[in-house]
């Protein structure tokens, strides 16, 4: 049985992949530059999610207005863990949330068909104070996953969820220190 609060992600020894959905204007500029550039906003919080299926639920498989493009954002594990170490749950006291450089929330993980599961997926909001660090230092690569999303969505809609599942990025339990794990499970 999957623990209720556990980070699952696509990662290697140095990096972890998180996902974001954008309009084409932001995605195209970022992909051309190989990093986030205008019109990406450096003045507002940006939410990153290591769960591909959670983002598919959120963006309706890249069909929601303003979320038509799905980017896999490869960032350093050091940056990811630094963000997590500063994260304040969105359920904390409003003053603590307002002061936090990083927000976190746990939302029900999703199946390939979009059903809520009985365990949670983490979302991490990188605030204005760290957004430049995220974009300029932590992000090491961007990949457009939109074609993959569209292929998988067609399979899901046509009742071939098992085939769609085989296209999805592999996610496994992300290893964390005991103290960070305990901190993140305080919801």
The percent of residues in the chain predicted with pLDDT above 70, rounded, is 99
Single pTM value for the model: 0.95
Packing angle between helix 52-59 and helix 146-157, nearest 10 degrees? 80
Give residue-wise pLDDT tens across range 98-157.
999 999 999 999 999 999 999 999 999 999 999 999 999 999 999 999 999 999 999 999
pLDDT at position 187, please?
58
At 97, is the pLDDT very low, low, confident or very high (cuts 50, 70, 90)? very high
Mean pLDDT value of segment 21-29: 98
**Residue 185 above 80 pLDDT?**
no
Burial of 50 (0-12, 13-18, 19+ CB in 10 A): buried
Is 56's pLDDT higher than 90?
yes
Q: What pLDDT, on a 0 to 100 scale, did the predictor assign at position 179? A: 86
* 73 has pLDDT over 90: yes
Range of lowest pLDDT (45-54, 105-114, 159-168, 177-186)? 177-186
Averaged pLDDT score across all residues of the chain: 95
Burial 54-64 (b: 16+ CB within 10 A, else e): bbbbbbebbee
**Cβ atoms of residues 185 and 20 within 8 Å:** no
Between 26 and 4, residue with greater pLDDT: 26
């Amino acid at each position: 049985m999957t623990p209720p609060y556990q980070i699952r992600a696509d990662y290697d020894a140095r990096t972890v992949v998180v996902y974001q959905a954008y309009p084409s204007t932001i995605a195209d500029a970022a992909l051309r530059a190989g990093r986030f550039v205008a019109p990406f906003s450096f003045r507002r919080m940006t939410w990153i999610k290591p769960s591909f299926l959670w983002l598919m639920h959120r963006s309706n498989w890249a069909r929601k207005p303003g979320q038509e493009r799905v980017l896999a954002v490869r960032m350093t594990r050091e940056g990811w863990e630094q963000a997590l170490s500063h994260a304040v749950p969105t359920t904390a006291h409003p003053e603590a949330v307002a002061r936090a450089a990083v927000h976190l929330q746990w939302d029900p993980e999703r199946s390939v068909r979009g059903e809520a599961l009985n365990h949670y997926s983490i979302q991490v909001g990188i605030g204005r104070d760290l957004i430049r660090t995220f974009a300029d230092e932590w992000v090491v690569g961007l990949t457009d996953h939109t074609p993959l999303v569209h292929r998988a969505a067609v399979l899901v809609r046509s009742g071939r969820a098992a085939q769609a599942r085989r296209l999805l990025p592999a996610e496994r339990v992300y290893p964390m220190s005991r103290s960070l794990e305990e901190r993140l499970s305080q919801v």
